[in-house]
Amino acid sequence: MASQLFVRGGSVAPVPSPTLRRGLGLDLVGAACLVTGASSGIGAATARLLAGAGARVAVHGRDRAALDRLAADLGAPTIQGDLTEPGAAEAVAAAAEADLGPLDVVVSNAGAGWSGSFCEMDPAEADCLIALNLTAPVHLARAVIPGMAARGRGCLVLVGSIVGHLGAPQEAVYAATKAALASLAESLRAEMAPVGVGVCLVSPGVVQTAFFDRRGLPYSRRRPRPIPAGRVAVAVETAITEGRPRTIVPTWLGLPVALSTLTPSLYRRLADRWA
């Protein structure tokens, strides 16, 4: 793992622990925060917003140059590494705590997409998606939640996707990883709430990032329209400070989610018609 993980940035002087707000919400002033997948898109926007709110932020990603640019703007320590490597999630968490001290907030945002025929998908591609989108968040949560529970405070934010609630043709494996992430978030929320640890799921719709180019197929649908990454970052910040267990952004996408739960047959007819 030593060849995969690089940390840059000096240690930060201890500060008072952030105070709990209503419910399991946290005050971000002085909070020690780790954001994974911060090289670009939602992760970078979230890191900037949390830092602007007074948090002490460590940023993780795989793009060294992008991390350095972000760190220069924020004065943040950087952690470069591939979360699919064995032991990587634990090493990233440990590196962040070495710089910031015990973590108050972890935003598990790193992920990747893939689009195409399920029948033609290379099994290796499926393995990569599962490793990054599901296995890595599980390992990261396991690395940070015990410490939060022992301290009686903290917040884990899992960044999911609307397709984790609704599914999507040509994105079966990606949607499956995000659905599992939603189940993980709800299960951990119920388990951790009694000990003062918040677990939040933020599920964005289509976001204006390089995500679709990286998955190999640009976004071409008329709706839903892409939203800025900064809008998702605001949802993440609100989830942390208000202790919201589940956020869908934009909020109107909560309507098809509710419809699919309450009247699945009607939802499927409408989805097949407008897909």
Q: Which residues are catalytic?
A: 174
First to last CA, the chain: 43
Q: How far apart are CA 176 and CA 135, in angstroms?
A: 12
Say which DSSP state 245 is in: S
Choose among 22, 23, 34: nearest CA to 193.
23
Q: Does residue 197 contact residue 153 with C-beta atoms inside 8 Å? A: yes
Residues in the chain: 275
226 SS3 class: coil
Q: How far apart are CA 272 and CA 132, in angstroms?
A: 30
Match 């989830």 to its residue by tokens.
239
Q: Phi and psi at residue 170, in whole multiples of 5°?
A: 70, 5
